[in-house]
Chains A and B, each alone.
Chain A
Amino acid sequence: MKLRTLSASLMLAGFGLVSQSALANISDDVIRIGFITDMASVYSDIDGPGGIEAARMAIADAGGEINGKKIELIFADHQNKADVAAAKAREWFDQQKIDMLMGGTNSGVNLALAGIAAEKKKVFMAVGAAASDLTGAQCSPYTAHWAYDTVALARGTGSAIVKAGGKSWYFLTADYAFGHALERDTANVVKAAGGEVKGQVRAPLNSSDFSSFLLQAQSSKAQILGLANAGGDTVNSIKAANEFGIGKTMKLAGLLIFINDIHSLGLNVTQGMQFTDGWYWDQNDETRAWSAKFEAKVKRKPSMVQAGDYSAVSYYLQAVKATGSDDSDTVMKWLKSTKINDMFAKNGYLREDGRMVHDMFLMEVKKPSESKGPWDYYKQLAVLPGEEVYTTLAESTCKLIKK
């Protein structure tokens, strides 16, 4: 009996390979997307409710349904806790039968989600998280890491600054996985370019006052202060650096800066800062048009992560439409063989390790006199080709890459 079932299913599988399109269909007659992100805490402005809205826009632009099957979006708050996110993801996979899982901000959370999605063999799109480990040591055939990662940030900002003469560095690092990864990746870039790392201070996450750490950095006599932190930590360290006049002896390099941080700090404090970004609302007509639509709903300009959310969901839906199936392997195969061309990325492509390779941009914060008003903050200094800023396949530690 068992043998017969087995051979029957093997036969079916064989047919499936030959005539995939004939058998392909949408499971449970609905395309269900589950989106877990930080809805209320430190990272909720970068993604959060705005990210959910971006995903909704992608669904609306796809017509709300594919081949008569409805597209549904469900979302939850992970509170920056990996265990909360993991429990939610399992519930969604087992009971809600979601077809695709989206991971918002927080690298720790996303690494946990990637593991569960791999176990359930479901598509997992990581957008807001930075850790390059998602497509490195912890890669999975079902992960698509969409917007940016720590390696791209490090290579973009790090090499530009070393090239401009910033040879000696000191790091102010957020004391957890993300900060360590960003510091490590940047230090490698600096050393490879002939620079020197004079030291680092690791500040606990959500420290309220950074002045003490900044004075330590200043006494190192390094030229560049690399901020390997994010969100509120970055804002508070830049505020204090400005107050203590750290900028007179050192140049600040924000390694992960979002437009929301600049908005919150103001241009007086941030002008002249250089950093790497994956997307900016005011790059071309396409980005401006989409951002205007987003702003009409959310009342502020989108961040790189929110634009990435839109792009990831629309490409997932295009894959389902093109293949007529929400089967994970089918969708991933389509995604990995299609060029990504939309308002978010030009000629991007999803690599076998799950990295969506696309161009990044070296940005500089405008002077107050150059800005036309709120949200007009960046000048683009250089395009950083995706092939150069992301980990190359030769360097990859992903087990899916055959060498």
Chain B
Amino acid sequence: MITIFGIPLQAFLGQLLLGLVNGSFYAILSLGLAVIFGLLNVINFAHGALYMFGAFLAWMGLSYFDLNYWVMLAIAPFIVGVFGIFIERCLLKHLYKLDHLYGLLLTFGITLLMEGLFRSFYGVSGQPYSTPEALRGATNLGFMVLPNYRAWVVVASVVVCLLTWFVIERTRLGALLRAGTENPRLVEAFGVNVPLMVTLTYGFGVALAGFAGVLAAPILQISPLMGSNLIVVVFAVVVIGGMGSILGAIVTGLGLGVIEGLTKVFWPEASSTVVFIIMAIVLLLRPAGLFGKEK
């Protein structure tokens, strides 16, 4: 039997694939953070809470209104996005002229509020949510049995990530967005409504978090704490990729998922730390991150 570093090739490939699945979550969450930071210069600490909100919306849709997974996959990100727009219009926009730290504190406060509210209503044990009918079962890939739902997670998030990247980097709308952040006055002079653009961008960024939340609902415990468990790792991903770099967020998200997956085999105890070790090394060698531009 072929072995790689002492483990059978089949098991190795299986672990790679699982890493990729987790990496998809990192990618889609860090993408939202990168979009928001790149265009708004806001460190959005509420991202984890909004991801949790998305997962809860999926559960609420099913248990209160009998709306299935697919419907909620469309509706939940929209609701989260609208909620984000509300936050941006009422609170965040007053902080743009101040230091980054104020935005971070505000969004951190929003996180605490949301987690506390959900905790007092639903407790921390989590809510049951089963995999949608169409994606139940598993496919035998030869080297491992992959649950169909996990395959769907990879496909869905890669498609969403690439679309986002394409819109921002390759279309006229994206060009306007990027220009608007570089020099808002000039872009306004061309008749573009920059504040509206900024608001919609924030709404879109947090909608991505809501989308990831719905994707996570069938495989993870839907609990008020699910966001804070994940958000620290996701921030590390963004820092490694380079704050504000769209492509960096996607590539490092997937890459770190794989590295973390392999660590779970070779040194399981360190699997929750490995991302931070990499972050430290990257910051020492390239302070702006792997894909970031020095300013």
Contact = CB atoms under 8 A, between A and B. Distances in A.
A203 interface: yes
Given A45-B124, A45-B125, A265-B128, A207 B225 contact: no
Nearest to B226: A208
A15 B128 CA distance: 62
A207 B225 CA distance: 12
A245 interface: yes
Nearest to B144: A215
B15 A215 contact: yes
A69 interface: no
Contact of A244 (B138, B265, B269, B272): B138
Interface string A238-249: 011001110000
A143 to B, nearest CB: 27
A380 B18 CA distance: 38
Interface string A287-324: 00000000000001000000000000000000000000
Contact of A232 (B15, B126, B219, B230): B126
A266 B130 contact: yes
Number of chain B interface residues as a range: 35 or more
Contact of A264 (B8, B126, B131, B138): B126
A240 B131 CA distance: 11
A212 B15 contact: yes
B18 A235 contact: no
A236 B128 contact: no
B38 interface: no
B145 A209 contact: no
Contacts of B145: 244-245
B225 A42 contact: yes
B261 interface: yes
A364 interface: no
Interface string A137-151: 000000000000000
Given A211-B18, A266-B128, A232 B269 contact: no
Interface string A363-378: 0000000000000000
A263 B128 CA distance: 8
Given A42-B225, A213-B264, A268-B130, A204 B269 contact: yes
A67 interface: no
A261 interface: yes
Interface string A197-224: 0000111101111011101100100000
Chain A interface: which size bin? Answer: 35 or more
Nearest to A234: B221
A27 interface: no
A209 B11 contact: no
B181 interface: no
A243 B124 contact: no
Contacts of B125: 45-46, 231, 235, 260-261, 263-264
Nearest to B216: A208
B261 A212 contact: yes
Contacts of B150: 211, 243
A235 B126 contact: yes
Interface in B196-211: none
A20 interface: no
A391 to B, nearest CB: 28
A351 B272 CA distance: 41
Given A232-B221, A236-B221, A264-B125, A245 B269 contact: no
Interface in B253-294: 261, 264-265, 268-269, 271-273
Given A204-B271, A232-B223, A236-B220, A41 B124 contact: yes
Contacts of B128: 264-266, 269
A271 interface: no
Nearest 9 A-B pairs (CB), nearest first?
Answer: A204-B272, A266-B128, A212-B264, A260-B125, A264-B126, A45-B125, A264-B125, A45-B123, A235-B221
Interface of A: 40-46, 175, 201-204, 206-209, 211-213, 215-216, 219, 231-232, 235-236, 239-240, 243-245, 260-261, 263-266, 268-269, 300
